[in-house]
Amino acid sequence: MEQVEQARQPADMPRGRITTPARIPESASPSAEHTTDLSMADFRAATAAQWREAVLTGEVSCVELATTALTAAATMSGLGAFIHLDPEFALARAEQQDRTLTLLRRSMSPHELARSSPLLGLPTAFKDLIPVAGLPLTSGTASSPAVVPARDAPLARTVHQAGAISIGKTQVPEFGLPCYSENQLAAPARNPLCITRTAGGSTGGGAVAVAAGILPLAPGSDGGGSVRIPAAACGLVGLKPGRGRIPDDDPLPSVQNLVTSGAIATIAEDAALLFDVMAKQGPAAQNAVQEALASGVTPLRVGVTTESPFSPDLDISLAEDAVQALENGISSLGKLGHHVQGTESCTGPERFWSQNYHQNFRALWTARLGELAFTDAQAELLEPLTQYFIELARSRPQATTRTAMSELQEFADDAEDIFGPWDVLMTPMLAFAPPQLGWFSSMAPEDNYAEQCRFTPYSSVVNVLGLPAINVPLHNSTDGLSWSIQLMGKRGSEEQLLAIAATMMG
């Protein structure tokens, strides 16, 4: 189901100095203390590709990396990254991979092994909305008991076949609906940058695990911002591919097909590694990133807008640090040789986004919930926000829902028209700082949903349009929080977005 994400909190963040996250230098490599002294477990010590290289050359084993991740997850359990950990499952798979690797080294070079198993030995975890064989699946709800799938979902199978090792399932909101990862089953996902604040959602647990160094990278899914929002909240790169780009996803071009699989990582290079696997292609994105870092990106025309599709129905106010991140993005792109221009210079007084977007998206977001059958006992256990969405869907006239779908489909069919003279569009990502845990859920459901929209005013429209987008962290505020911008690209531009992000962070 995984479909919503949005919101707001008072924009009281002080303006901080401009600091751009540094890339891990090429010389970085896993050191013994990060693989044998498990009290210092932290996968941010090197890139994901460098950890994999250490496995390929025999410097570390798959078991050592899995043990490192499991130990880190247990040590930092207070962050609420995981709903379920399964050491036995992970270590058994790691041992099997080590045995297979011993045999393959006799006939294959490290380069050949890397091409056949690009994620070899890398610990990861799927959000608890994605079936993984042998691991409980809760979908973040207390309304029904967990099930244990007998087989992987297609995406999980693809990632596992590339050599990654799942250590458990990460925290999510109920059915992936809100943009904060809190439910009745387990502790909330806490933001590693400030543990009293939300980590975002719905891939909140995955973002926490990467931001805390528990995992080198994490796959996610994005129905309205579920990859980009937690990535922004936790200071990470989050890539949302375009509709139909990931072979394991639903290929239907319908606007109702909002969810795409995406990648969360510390740097663009690692996100590219995971994206190449998910896209079932060679190292196209990785090559694009490396070429960009070596020689830059061909100058592009970048349009910048702060107009939200939720306006004017909702008042959208940007915190000073959100504006600072956008200013950093404009400055960075300019220094890299790109032509940056405000969209209002071409659109004039005309509205940039689709008319009636707020009410139409709410209809689209909740429509399928009205079709689900819950017993009275199950309904009582649902989160108040989920109950509210179900009531909205069931009380809305079908004609109203059809009209909303039709208008949004027309908008999506002409998605690239919004680019006008530009190659890429840039917006802020989050409007204000990640709220305190429990802030959204303390509100009446109607207000909760509206505040989510104000918090994430630029994310859901990308899913409606079916376009790719990437979150790029570009500013750290004085209180240690991270602030990002969003880059939207045309269909098939995922590699280009990753390359741009890498140069902006480099």
Instruction: Please state which CATH number belongs to domain 32-355+406-505.
Output: 3.90.1300.10
Q: Which residues of 176-203 are buried (b: 16+ CB within 10 A; e: fewer)?
A: bbbbbbbbebbbbbbbbbbeebbbbbbb
Question: Which positions are annotated as active-site residues?
Answer: 127, 202, 226
- Model pLDDT, residue 352: 83
Fill in the DSSP letter of residue 164: -
Give the CA distances from residue 371 to residues 173, 366, 367, 390, 393, in Å, rounded to whole numbers and listed in that order: 20, 10, 7, 9, 8
Share above pLDDT 90 across residues of the chain, in percent, rounded to a whole number: 89
What mean pLDDT comes out for the span 457-473?
98
Q: What's the mean pLDDT when you consider all of the chain?
A: 91
pLDDT in tens, 172-184: 999 999 999 999 9
At 177, phi and psi to the nearest 5?
-80, -50
- The pTM score is 0.92
CA distance 114 to 299: 32
Q: Which residues contact 129 (CB under 8 A, 6 or more apart)?
A: 1, 2, 137, 139, 140, 172, 175, 176, 202, 221
What mean pLDDT comes out for the span 389-400?
97
The band of 307, judged by pLDDT with boundaries at 50, 70 and 90, is very high
Question: Over 60: is that where the pLDDT of 336 sits?
Answer: yes
Q: Which residues contact 226 (CB under 8 A, 6 or more apart)?
A: 2, 5, 176, 179, 201, 202, 203, 220, 262
What mean pLDDT comes out for the span 361-384?
96
**No. of helices (H) and no. of strands (E), the chain:** 18, 13
Q: What angle do CA 287, 34, 50 make, to 5 degrees?
A: 10
* Residue reference for tokens 């189901």: 1
What mean pLDDT comes out for the span 230-234?
98
Question: Over 80: is that where the pLDDT of 14 sits?
Answer: no
- Model pLDDT, residue 18: 26
Domain boundaries, the chain: 32-355+406-505
Share above pLDDT 70 across residues of the chain, in percent, rounded to a whole number: 91
pLDDT in tens, 153-171: 999 999 999 999 999 999 9
At 48, phi and psi to the nearest 5?
-60, -40
- Model pLDDT, residue 35: 35
- Model pLDDT, residue 170: 98
